[in-house]
Amino acid sequence: KAGVTQTPRYLIKTRGQQVTLSCSPISGHRSVSWYQQTPGQGLQFLFEYFSETQRNKGNFPGRFSGRQFSNSRSEMNVSTLELGDSALYLCASSSLETVAGELFFGEGSRLTVL
């Protein structure tokens, strides 16, 4: 079955702009989580959505937001972009509600802010 799909794969924005990234989870998966990966901070949890509700949030400013649709597809938005937002943004989906469920990651969206 198809894996986690993230679009776009690459994008370039300038400071002050906003960006929307999309994630299509594996069919049947209701949990979608987002991560930011930078060389300096590594992989950091942004937020998680389950059945259209945000149920966990990482330590990021309010400029970072997300949502999940009824078909489990998710989007994340970053407003007023800063240079430090340049990163690989990864989406992961999971089918199980318990901690034993493995996460399936997409290949990421690489954002460059100029």
Partner 1 sequence: DAKTTQPNSMESNEEEPVHLPCNHSTISGTDYIHWYRQLPSQGPEYVIHGLTSNVNNRMASLAIAEDRKSSTLILHRATLRDAAVYYCILRDGTGTASKLTFGTGTRLQVTL
Interface with partner 1 (CB under 8 A): 4, 31-33, 35, 42-45, 48, 50, 55-56, 58, 90, 92, 94, 96-108
CB atoms within 10 A of CB 91: 29
Residue among 44 and 79 whose Cβ is closer to partner 1: 44
Residue 8: cis peptide before it, omega within 30 degrees of 0: yes
Alpha helices for 1-114 (secondary structure H): none
Report yes or no: 34 and 89 within 8 Å, Cβ to Cβ: yes
Report yes or no: 91 and 29 within 8 Å, Cβ to Cβ: no
Class of residue 28 by CB neighbours under 10 A (exposed 0-12, middle 13-18, buried 19+): exposed
DSSP state of 74: E
> Shortest gap between Cβ of 49 and partner 1 (angstroms)?
9
> Shortest gap between Cβ of 40 and partner 1 (angstroms)?
11
> Shortest gap between Cβ of 8 and partner 1 (angstroms)?
15
Residue among 68 and 113 whose Cβ is closer to partner 1: 68
> Shortest gap between Cβ of 44 and partner 1 (angstroms)?
7
Residue among 56 and 112 whose Cβ is closer to partner 1: 56
Residue among 19 and 108 whose Cβ is closer to partner 1: 108
